[in-house]
Amino acid sequence: MAKILPVPADPSPSFFVPIADLVHRGGLLAVGTESSYALAASVSNPTALDRVINAKERPSGKPLLVLIGERSQLDTLAGSVPSWFHVMIDEFWPGPLTVIVPAQPGLSSMLTAGTGTIGIREPAPAFLRALLRHTGPLTGTSANLSGQAPCLTAEEVQASLGHDVDLILDTGPAPGNRPSTLLSVVDEPAILRAGPVSGEEIQRVLSNIGLLVPVKGLP
């Protein structure tokens, strides 16, 4: 059964060392985000990615979203992006906007599901971003069995997935907000999933820089 590790209010750098070591050895974490708890594994470790999919009993062919802790981590994940991508993330990151971009060649098909694209987000919680700076990019899929409601507490994760997860980082109850907005920046902007960042907000930012292309997926 996975251990629950309470996260201190102001963790020291040494707090992250054994957690990062676990991740680099293929470990599987659960950690709170601004919506629910997520399953976090190294995006560069195929065994760890396979553990995420098996823990969720997730159907094959569905991509895994990725969380980053700082913009420099984009370089290993994103391919060529339009200039307005950077305007968009300056406006909405860190926060609940996942941006679908062309993927760097060589990324695992477990991340891309063969689409040639990858979904990336810089999350809002300060602890999570600090963790990601120590571990590198991690998966950010919700912590739950496929088809069930996402877990909102460390105890719920332990009850549902405790035999598959190595460590649960208890960051307190997750707020249960809607999952992040999914915005594709491949070709023209398109909303693939509505969420906390509205289509109108996205359209406003694009209009402010003179990009008058309508955002697909707006109601």
Note the pLDDT tens digit of each residue in 78-106. Answer: 999 998 999 999 999 999 999 999 999 99
Residue-wise pLDDT tens digits, 194-208: 999 998 999 999 889
- At residue 93, the 3 state secondary structure works out as coil
Within-domain flag for 155? yes
Within-domain flag for 215? no
Average pLDDT, the chain: 94
Within-domain flag for 217? no
Report the pLDDT averaged over residues 158-174. Answer: 97
Pick left, alpha or beta for residue 76 (phi over 0 → left; psi -120 to 50 → alpha; otherwise beta): alpha
Q: Which two tokens stand for residue 143?
A: 């912590």
Residue-wise pLDDT tens digits, 141-155: 999 999 999 999 999
pTM of the prediction?
0.95
Number of structural domains, the chain? 1
CATH of the domain at 24: 3.90.870.10
Q: Around 188, how many Cα atoms within 13 Å sit in the side-chain half-sphere?
A: 10
Q: What is the 3-state secondary structure (H, E, C) of 186-217?
A: CCCCEEEECCCCCHHHHHHHHHHCCCCCCCEC
Within-domain flag for 103? yes
Within-domain flag for 218? no
Within-domain flag for 13? yes
Q: Which two tokens stand for residue 101?
A: 């971009």
- What percentage of the chain reaches a pLDDT higher than 70? 97
Q: Which two tokens stand for residue 54?
A: 């098996």
66: containing domain: 3-208
Q: Which two tokens stand for residue 191?
A: 């909303």
Residue-wise pLDDT tens digits, 1-34: 899 999 999 999 999 999 999 999 999 999 999 9
| Sign of the torsion formed by the C-alpha atoms of 47, 52, 55 and 61 | negative
Within-domain flag for 146? yes
Strands (E), 47-158: 66-67, 97-102, 117-121, 138-139, 141-142
Within-domain flag for 216? no
Rounded distance, CA 160 to CA 152, Å? 11
